[in-house]
A and B are shown apart, each in its own frame.
Chain A
């Protein structure tokens, strides 16, 4: 090129031009390489990031279905509250990130500005609660207790509150009709956790971040049905979160209603009577400990005998389930679950377990018949029973002489069962068992003890049948501790430990004898005993108890009935059943429970009962009362409450009075009867979701809790005055 005209070009310039050229093209190649790296090599990753960038979901929560009682009265439903929410996207667009708006809002709502600010901040690892765990595109509720006044202020001065809305919104309400709180049966809701969202991702009912999830009781059991399906609208948004298009949307599907077999009126009475019985028990002196009964917890189950449906289920201590609505406060949560609480979240009807005491004797009776002892033979009811050098006493050392098994049940004679159990123990080989028949243990299993009843409530406990297998496992788990304590300790507890260490793996005569009258290591729940007594009433079918009766779509059109199912039959023939049935009727008319059923119209509504008083090592006795008619079974228990009929009797009687409308003269007033026959139909739910249900008068029509002023017809008036404590009839032994 230097040969060109005007050849002023030097080689220096030429070389430099080539260098520039090389540099230029290497820059371009660098760009190509980087472009390939971003688009081809890592393209998928950026595609995913772009998608999460511009698609945002706005979730319209589905209305949660109601939980209704048998007549359609809502036990849990939704109420409209004025919810003030802040739209975070709007706030963040403001110059001061919405601070001034939130401060003004705090002023209107009478809240602290810092509390309001804390509610709208997003949760992350560093942010302490309260904070917003949901999607930032979701309106964040500031309060659900705004007054109309406050809502109006916010809405009328909308220009002062950009991004703030005050809308009527459905929130859960536990209505407690007529005082029927049923807290443990209904359960409660709390916001869904990240783990649950991940787990439910691919299931049939995926969870939304805005969802509330049932945590216990019916809310949990029927969560999927109640929850419905949240409506999701996916919006394409731009960099400021402004909607630039609608990707797709699913309409919200409201949750179904659950019709239960609970009758709110009966439930209210059951709760009140249980509470009153416990209060009364605390006034009683326990002669064994020299202090008043603690009556620290109790439960009552009212069940339909022929179906296993639960008409009422009360657990005490209880609490107001509405504390969960809108997020529970730290203090309330501590009160419910802390070490110093009395654990009111526990449903003692299905989660409380204790030795059954004498209400176990129906099982022992059946076991004896199965083992070959005739029901009608006579067995000696002595004042005491000796095995070797051990003396097992009948209660108050009272003997009845030779009596049949029916009479033994009626008077709750312990020595008859001691004798039967001991003879059976010997037959099974005594301390050297050879292929033991173990009729008493086998029968307990056949009655459904030691396993759950299958009630449609979560976390039911199994109880325990202390059979040989259990004893062996238990001994293996504890022998080291026992043997150590037995060697070091000379006290009574030490001696017991030593004995357990040496022979705890064996079924000893004393164990079997104690077991036969429901004492010792046996554990049962109220629902198990209700299931058993209902089965005796209905001829032997062990029903899985149910609270849910039907799942009804919100418009009332589709109904899925929850049919009673059975988990077995009691192992006795019809004759034995009738004999036990007759004996239990005798308990109510002339036996240990008769003083509680004075004036009962036995000819019209045959009453059957069995009382029980279970001993608990280191504690006061547990009161048990199991009763049934042809329609209903009621089992009640009070921990550290005293004797069966003493502590639980009046309460159970009052529930029956209310059910059947029994007045003080023993007559039956059909008009006052709440539920003389179990409710068989379902409440009608109209197309628009309204439910026809007669409102519940409070106090309930048939009476009032004992202790309060009683209208005429209250069972209180008819009852013979309880005997003075000194001569109080004790209904049970041990």
Chain B
């Protein structure tokens, strides 16, 4: 919060009206990353169409209303946008003070999933059912709280100018902070979210400038952990099956391999231009399970073809490219670390989600940011966009 000489004098003039503040030369609107915002909006818009295409015939899911998912997805996007706006308005710096509370809440909700409040979907106990057909997936929000929590710890002393890099003690604290929710999520077991969280932790450590030994140690521990998990039989049979089927869908064409096989047929049959929105036989025939959520990319592949599906990857690339710029250009390490965590989250989750539909990654229950249907994931993704915008907006324009 140090006053810098780059700020014009008017900054300190008496309170201006809201309109004046929005239209002024230093307006927050002018300092937003509109390219990222529009790309994210475009992804949500495409996602809404795809969700509609995938669900308008799924009478057993949409309760007879073809617009059920369309309307809910629009509502989710609206709430997400509001959350993003809130994040910008409050600002990531101001949020610092609330992070301990947010972290505590997210851990509590995560723990609640393991109690009878939790609901099991597709073999993973990762939801809390609320009334009225709503449910939340707390692990989505832990992606944000872990990022913010670790960033506060790791960047605190550096931003204060006390140290160049986070010291070992701080790193241990940060890792401990991340380990608690990750451990809980591993118990659900929601393997996909655990993988994303581990990648976030790794990226946050990297961006914080933590010692190479910590980074190498974490990677090593990850590898050891994988081996241990495999050996100790923590994984359920269905999870091992998913891995086996990704490598060879023919192993079990009617079981797990069915998902990957049908997903591949859907995408492959799209060709260059696709069969046209709402005209995909695989989608209309509901051959791909979980198509509105985890396998939303197959709708794009089939109905919009290489051009449409490629556009989604391109738009994700745009979001990530702008996020990388924000990370690099942030004046504080705090902003850089938060941005890096979000980049890792979006990048890895997108790669895993699209990769599994293309048959190059194992099948895990992860949504495609902005595109998949799902409130929690939509809110979290847009909050993250809000945070990135806040990081961008709250640094000097003159940069």
Which A residues contact B (CB, under 8 angstroms)?
A: 1, 4-6, 8-10, 12-14, 16-17, 19-21, 23-25, 27-28, 30-32, 34-36, 38-40, 42-43, 45-47, 49-51, 53-54, 236-240, 244-245
Q: Does B158 contact A (CB under 8 A)?
A: yes
Q: Mark B1-41, 1 if CB is under 8 A from A, else 0.
A: 01010100000000000000000000000000000000000
20 contacts between A and B (CB under 8 A): A1-B328, A10-B164, A12-B165, A13-B209, A14-B328, A20-B324, A20-B327, A31-B350, A35-B309, A35-B358, A38-B264, A43-B268, A43-B271, A43-B272, A46-B268, A46-B269, A53-B281, A236-B284, A239-B262, A239-B289
How many Å lie between the Cα of A24 and that of B320 in the bound state? 8
Q: Nearest chain-A residue to B313 (Cβ)?
A: A31
Q: Is the CB of A6 within 8 A of B331?
A: yes
Please tell me which stretch of B94-102, B217-225, B339-347 contacts chain A, meaning at least 4 of its Cβ atoms lie within 8 angstroms of it.
Answer: B339-347
Q: Nearest chain-A residue to B309 (Cβ)?
A: A35
Known: A35-B306, A35-B310. A17 touches B264 (CB 8 A): no
Known: A28-B316, A39-B306, A50-B302. 7 other contacts (CB 8 A): A4-B399, A13-B208, A19-B206, A35-B306, A43-B271, A47-B268, A50-B268
Q: Is the CB of B285 within 8 A of A239?
A: yes
Q: Is the CB of B2 within 8 A of A6?
A: yes
Q: Nearest chain-A residue to B266 (Cβ)?
A: A50
How many Å lie between the Cα of A526 and that of B214 in the bound state? 101
Q: Does B336 contact A (CB under 8 A)?
A: yes
Q: Does B351 contact A (CB under 8 A)?
A: yes
Q: Is the CB of A51 within 8 A of B281?
A: yes
Kindly provide the distance from the CB of B316 to the nearest chain A CB, expressed in whole angstroms: 7
Q: Is the CB of A46 within 8 A of B265?
A: yes
Q: Nearest chain-B residue to A245 (Cβ)?
A: B284
Q: Is the CB of A53 within 8 A of B287?
A: yes
Q: Is the CB of A4 within 8 A of B265?
A: no
Q: Nearest chain-A residue to B57 (Cβ)?
A: A244
Known: A34-B360, A38-B358, A47-B269. A28 touches B207 (CB 8 A): no
How many Å lie between the Cα of A25 and that of B317 in the bound state? 7
Kindly provide the distance from the CB of A54 to the nearest chain B CB, expressed in whole angstroms: 4
How many Å lie between the Cα of A6 and that of B158 in the bound state? 10
How many Å lie between the Cα of A13 and that of B165 in the bound state? 9
Q: Nearest chain-A residue to B269 (Cβ)?
A: A50
Q: Does B333 contact A (CB under 8 A)?
A: yes
Q: Nearest chain-A residue to B284 (Cβ)?
A: A244
Specify which chain B residues have a CB less than 8 angstroms from the CB of A31 in the assembled complex.
313, 350-351, 354-355, 358
Specify which chain A residues have a CB less than 8 angstroms from the CB of B316 in the assembled complex.
28
Q: Does B133 contact A (CB under 8 A)?
A: no
Known: A16-B206, A236-B281. A28 touches B351 (CB 8 A): yes
Segment 289-339 of B: residues with Cβ below 8 Å from A: 289, 301-302, 305-306, 309-310, 313, 316-317, 320-321, 324, 327-329, 331-333, 336
User: Taking each of A8, A20, A25, A46, which has the highest tally of chain B beta carbons within 10 Å of its own beta carbon?
Assistant: A8
Q: Does B286 contact A (CB under 8 A)?
A: yes
Q: Is the CB of A239 within 8 A of B286?
A: yes
Known: A24-B347, A28-B320, A43-B268. A238 touches B286 (CB 8 A): yes
How many Å lie between the Cα of A240 and that of B287 in the bound state? 8
Q: Does B51 contact A (CB under 8 A)?
A: no
- Checking B207, B265, B340 against A50 with a beta-carbon cut-off of 8 angstroms, the contacting residue is B265
Kindly provide the distance from the CB of B370 to the nearest chain A CB, expressed in whole angstroms: 15
Q: Is the CB of A35 within 8 A of B265?
A: no
Kindly provide the distance from the CB of B397 to the nearest chain A CB, expressed in whole angstroms: 12
How many Å lie between the Cα of A45 and that of B261 in the bound state? 13
Q: Is the CB of A34 within 8 A of B282?
A: no
Kindly provide the distance from the CB of A573 to the nearest chain B CB, expressed in whole angstroms: 76
- Checking B285, B306, B333, B343 against A13 with a beta-carbon cut-off of 8 angstroms, the contacting residue is B333
Q: Does B161 contact A (CB under 8 A)?
A: yes
Q: Is the CB of B272 within 8 A of A39?
A: yes
How many Å lie between the Cα of A47 and that of B271 in the bound state? 8
Specify which chain A residues have a CB less than 8 angstroms from the CB of B360 in the assembled complex.
30, 34
Known: A6-B2, A10-B164, A39-B268. A21 touches B324 (CB 8 A): yes
Segment 142-166 of B: residues with Cβ below 8 Å from A: 158-159, 161, 164-165
Q: Is the CB of A30 within 8 A of B351?
A: yes
Specify which chain A residues have a CB less than 8 angstroms from the CB of B70 in the assembled complex.
none
Q: Is the CB of A238 within 8 A of B268?
A: no
Kindly provide the distance from the CB of A281 to the nearest chain B CB, expressed in whole angstroms: 64
How many Å lie between the Cα of A17 and that of B285 in the bound state? 44
Known: A1-B329, A5-B331, A50-B266. A39 touches B309 (CB 8 A): yes
Q: Nearest chain-A residue to B351 (Cβ)?
A: A27
How many Å lie between the Cα of A13 and that of B268 in the bound state? 41
Q: Does B393 contact A (CB under 8 A)?
A: no
Q: Nearest chain-B residue to A39 (Cβ)?
A: B306
Kindly provide the distance from the CB of A5 to the nearest chain B CB, expressed in whole angstroms: 5
Kindly provide the distance from the CB of B147 to the nearest chain A CB, expressed in whole angstroms: 14
Known: A20-B344, A30-B351, A34-B355. A10 touches B281 (CB 8 A): no
How many Å lie between the Cα of A49 and that of B282 in the bound state? 10
Specify which chain B residues have a CB less than 8 angstroms from the CB of A244 in the assembled complex.
57, 284-285
Q: Nearest chain-A residue to B354 (Cβ)?
A: A31
Specify which chain A residues have a CB less than 8 angstroms from the CB of B289 in the assembled complex.
239
Q: Does B267 contact A (CB under 8 A)?
A: yes
Kindly provide the distance from the CB of B281 to the nearest chain A CB, expressed in whole angstroms: 4
How many Å lie between the Cα of A677 and that of B347 in the bound state? 94
Q: Is the CB of A39 within 8 A of B159?
A: no
Q: Is the CB of B287 within 8 A of A9?
A: no
Specify which chain A residues have a CB less than 8 angstroms from the CB of B57 in the assembled complex.
238, 244
Q: Does B80 contact A (CB under 8 A)?
A: no
Specify which chain B residues have a CB less than 8 angstroms from the CB of A46 in the assembled complex.
264-269
